[in-house]
Amino acid sequence: MLKIFCSKKRAVAVWLVIALIITVCVSTAVVNSITAVGTGNDKTIVIDVGHGGRDGGVVGSTGIKEADVNLGISKSLKHFLKEDGYNVIMTRESDVDLAYGNEFKKTDMLARKRIIDSASPDLVVSIHQNSFPDKDVYGAQVFYAPSSDEGKRLAESMQTVLNANLSCSRMAKNGDYYIIQCSPHLSVLVECGFLSNPREESLLVTANYQRKVAYSIYSSIKSFLS
Ligand SMILES: [Zn+2]
């Protein structure tokens, strides 16, 4: 009786171990497939980080350089996109310019175009900050290439998200910017806010607000491409 009981007990224990192994294997496979797939799988995004190095861009009243704010927002945007499985290429990852030779602005732009061309991305987003003589003007604004209907649709949907998340009410506009017209790829340029507006400047310098801007851009890219 004791012997039978023991072997039954052993058999139950063996089955329990087998069931446990199967459960662990199946749940690991599910977790792996979620991690590997993501929504951004196989999609490449180029983040063009405006200005940098010898070109600081516009400067706020506290002396903050546009180039630094652009880099902060871009790094945060890269983080959100990569977490979701996108391939991300940034035109710069530190405070440098891309210029060479004598013609600073021209070669800096050509170097950015070269990065876009070799990435052959699904989408290009160029990150900038704005400035205006009237210090009351504020808000994020998205620009698209005048000839791109798809760019216009992306810019308008991104503008809606930015207006809602950042409590502003600007309109997407077409803009004659080289970076959004230099390649055949879907491109927008985001002026994330006005460094000439003291209140907006005080927000744009914080990591928290930079994350908020980046998340808004990320979520509109995600919904547009899916
Ligand atoms: Zn700029």
From the CA of 116, how far away is ligand 1's center (Å)? 18
From the CA of 128, how far away is ligand 1's center (Å)? 4
From the CA of 210, how far away is ligand 1's center (Å)? 16
**Cα(96)–Cα(179) distance, rounded to whole angstroms?**
17
Give the pLDDT confidence score for residue 36 in this predicted structure. 40
Give the pLDDT confidence score for residue 17 in this predicted structure. 53
From the CA of 131, how far away is ligand 1's center (Å)? 9
From the CA of 202, how far away is ligand 1's center (Å)? 18
Give the pLDDT confidence score for residue 109 in this predicted structure. 98
**Cα(111)–Cα(52) distance, rounded to whole angstroms?**
13
For the domain spanning 39-225, the CATH number is: 3.40.630.40
- The ranges assigned to domains in the chain are 1-37, 39-225
For residues 50 and 92, the answer to whether their CB atoms sit within 8 Å is: no
Give the pLDDT confidence score for residue 2 in this predicted structure. 42
The string of pLDDT tens digits covering residues 161-190 is 999 999 999 999 999 999 999 999 999 999
From the CA of 75, how far away is ligand 1's center (Å)? 16
Threshold 0.85, pTM exceeds: no
From the CA of 126, how far away is ligand 1's center (Å)? 9
From the CA of 220, how far away is ligand 1's center (Å)? 21
- Counting as low any pLDDT under 70, the low residues of the chain are 1-39
Contacts of residue 165, defined as CB under 8 A and 6 or more positions apart, other chains included, come to 212, 215, 216
From the CA of 92, how far away is ligand 1's center (Å)? 14
From the CA of 1, how far away is ligand 1's center (Å)? 85
Burial class (CB in 10 A: 0-12, 13-18, 19+), 212: middle
- Helix, strand, or coil here: 175? coil
